[in-house]
Amino acid sequence: MNDRINSGEYTLGINANETAKKSFYRVASRVNKSELLKFITELGIEIDSKLKKEELLNFICQLSSNQLIYFTEKHKNVFALYPNELEEFLGCSHNERKRWQEEGKLKIIEYREFDYGEFPVYDCLDSLLITPKTVEQWRKDYQEKVAGNRSRGAKKAQETHKLNSVKKQIFKFQYEEAITNWKSRAADAIGTLKLAYWTMYLSRLAKYFQFKAINAIKYEDVYRQKSQDYYELKNKAIAILVRSPYAELGYYIPSEPDKISYYYYWSYPNEINEERFYRIVDYRDNGKVQVEVEVNRQKNYYCLYYLCLRVTGIEETFSFHTPKDIGDKFFPPGESLPLVDHEESEGLFRFGRPLNESELVTHTEKVILKYFEESLTTFEDDFVEDSLKIK
């Protein structure tokens, strides 16, 4: 480090730039006056002890580099730079400082705690040795890295686009082949099969947006609304699919069909309301907090209607679950239907699944809605009266 100082790469003394002087002065002001006087005396320099602290600091900032190094090292923890101080000295942004820290370019002395976590403090001397030229080189290196990543990203995007185009062509071929097969084996059921197929993917699309809304920030409301709209459209489709001659309707009753909710009502001593610094747990442990519990039971809340579309001679079978509170609106009473015996498989029976990565390529939102609307129109023309068609 001394070699870097003495070689003229950077000078902390008289020749230091104004930014370095201001930063050093501000940090050095943390040292109390008695320590400043003691340091100057140790250097063999006579100085008036009646001088103000600001005057002592100005004097110290004019010392030679080696003398300042000694002073800084002696008070290393006091001279530690806070993140905002380092950013100001280097003339960098918050993100740049964090990036250089992760790359090991900034020397951290220790982490200090505060109410909500901890933050790093940086070695003052090491930071003062970072020249503007070095900072510019770091930025240049980063821009080159970004440009390289962008170039590789563009190339990968082209490859992905080509691959996705192939996947879409394969899906289109397989779907048309399936339709041809259905027509040859059960021409009368083609309307049912097509609507069931696209209702299944509409349900997965709704589930996809439901999951997407959970982690979204900016578009949470948009995704949640899409999920709700598509689930409503799915339920309307199921309400008319049950009219198909190939529909089988059942009722599923789980081992614990009721939903039980507990509501707790707490009453506290007056002193808790008057003196908020009391901990509620102290009163609870002493039996001073009274609790009333209200139990609400919703009968058969977890029961499901189960609609299965099955066509003789066709390998594919489509099935849908509908929550009781929704199915009650358009299905006959569940108690009048045959019971479905089912074992859970990771919640798929009750909750379904979202579109997977491959389906997001072949079954886009636009494609699903287009084919769903077409198949819905075809099915309604065959099985639904005009007054009952979905508007």
Q: What does the pLDDT profile of the chain (391 residues) look like in tens digits? A: 444 434 334 344 434 456 556 666 777 777 788 888 888 887 778 888 888 888 888 887 777 667 777 777 777 787 788 898 889 888 899 999 999 999 999 999 999 888 788 999 998 878 878 888 999 999 999 999 888 888 888 888 888 889 899 999 999 999 999 999 999 999 899 999 999 999 999 999 999 999 999 989 899 999 999 999 999 999 999 999 999 999 999 999 988 889 999 888 766 656 555 555 455 555 555 555 677 888 899 998 889 999 999 999 999 999 999 999 999 999 999 989 999 887 655 445 556 789 999 999 999 999 999 999 999 988 887 666 544 455 5
Instruction: Report whether 119 contacts 111 (CB < 8 A).
Output: yes
- Report the pLDDT value the prediction gives residue 116, as an integer from 0 to 100: 80
Q: Provide CB contacts within 8 A for 173, sequence distance 6+.
A: none
d(CA 321, CA 238): 9
User: Shortest CA distance to 184 belongs to which of 309, 310, 314?
Assistant: 314
CB atoms within 10 A of CB 19: 14
Residue 80 DSSP class:
P
User: Shortest CA distance to 342 belongs to which of 246, 257, 238, 253?
Assistant: 253
- Got the DSSP string for 218-282? TTHHHHHHHHHHHHHHHHHHHHHHTTSTTEEEEEE--SS--EEEEEEEEE--HHHHH-TTS-HHH
Where are the alpha helices (H) located in 29-131, listed in sequence order? Answer: 33-42, 53-60, 65-74, 83-90, 94-102, 124-128
- Got the DSSP string for 105-137? -S-EEEEEEETTEEEEEE-HHHHHT--HHHHHH
- Report the pLDDT value the prediction gives residue 320, as an integer from 0 to 100: 92
Torsion of the alpha carbons at 327, 330, 333 and 334, rounded to the nearest 10? -30
Domain-wise residue ranges, the chain:
1-142, 188-252+305-389
d(CA 150, CA 142): 12
